[in-house]
Structure 1
Amino acid sequence: MRYALVFHAPEPGGSGPQPTDEQIAEMQQLMTDYVSALQAAGVLIAAEMLHPSAATTTVTRRTGSTVIEDGPFAEAKEALAGVFVLDVAGPDAALAWAEKFPGAAYGVVEVRPVGAYVSDGTWKTA
């Protein structure tokens, strides 16, 4: 089954304490080790870490015409920071990988089953 580990974290430059260069380097190494473990287990489909939400552009047609705006949809202390897609046996395996996610030390990992995905140009249900 496919699961998305959706990572939410405090925005860089926010009002809280900021990580030191050493802490950033340590987290980068922990994330590299985590991805290596996912690859070795053969469960990693994709891993994407995002730029801060200030780099966001939103697009909507809710009013009937297209509106394009700079910035995130909503202001929040925590923002979407990344998404990892795994193919694992079930929810227990997805939770086990989420428990090992290094960013959980300072953010939140949402574990969600994938409902549908595209493979070879065709929608498939998970």
Structure 2
Amino acid sequence: MTHYMLSIYQPAGPPPSDEVLEPIMRDLEALNAEMREAGAWVFAGGLHDPSTATVIRTKDGEPLLTDGPFTEGKEVLGGFTIVSAPDLDAALEWGRRLSRATTLPVEVRPMHDGDPR
């Protein structure tokens, strides 16, 4: 089984109203429960606003810390889910379902298994 990261991208800016967000969160919780029952769910998490980020870059061997997101954009990484799937097709199906539940774009990407090659 391979781990895949399902990255959820959302519009930058304030979150939607509770009346918009509540059914999305209900659908997301139902999907997470289904992933757990199927043995596919590994980990998931939502992220705070990009303005809360700290970026660390090394310059001349020294870390330099700056406030704010790595890049500015119209869409930001809002959260992610890690799934275990037998192949890309199975991971893509979880990604499709996650996109339907959240109503947002989802990027599906395989994770390295620890072998740096």
Query: What range is the shorter-chain TM-score in?
Result: 0.7 to 0.9
**Equivalent position of 1:80 in the other structure:** 77
| CA distance in 1: counterparts of 2:34 and 2:52, whole angstroms | 30
**Equivalent position of 2:95 in the other structure:** 98
**Equivalent position of 2:27 in the other structure:** 30
For residue 70 of structure 2, what is the amino acid of its counterpart? Answer: F
Secondary structure of the corresponding residue to residue 33 of structure 1:
helix
Instruction: Indicate whether 1:69 and 2:66 are aligned.
Output: yes
**Equivalent position of 2:41 in the other structure:** 44
Residues 13-45 of structure 1: CA distance to partner in whole angstroms, max 9, x if unpaired?
2xxxx6321111111111111111110111111
| CA distance in 1: counterparts of 2:105 and 2:63, whole angstroms | 32
Question: How many residues are treated as equivalent by the alignment?
Answer: 112
Secondary structure of the corresponding residue to residue 56 of structure 2:
strand
Query: What is the root-mean-square deviation in Å for CA atoms of aligned residues?
Result: 1.4
| CA distance in 2: counterparts of 1:74 and 1:63, whole angstroms | 22
Taking every aligned residue pair, what percent have the same amino acid on both sides?
Answer: 29
- TM-score norm. by structure 1 comes to 0.82
**Equivalent position of 1:4 in the other structure:** 5
Instruction: Indicate whether 1:58 and 2:55 are aligned.
Output: yes
**Unmatched segments (≥5 aa) in structure 1:** 117-123
Distance 1:81 1:63, change over 3 A: farther
Residues 36-76 of structure 1: CA distance to partner in whole angstroms, max 9, x if unpaired?
11101111111011111111111110443211111001110
For residue 59 of structure 1, what is the amino acid of its counterpart? Answer: I
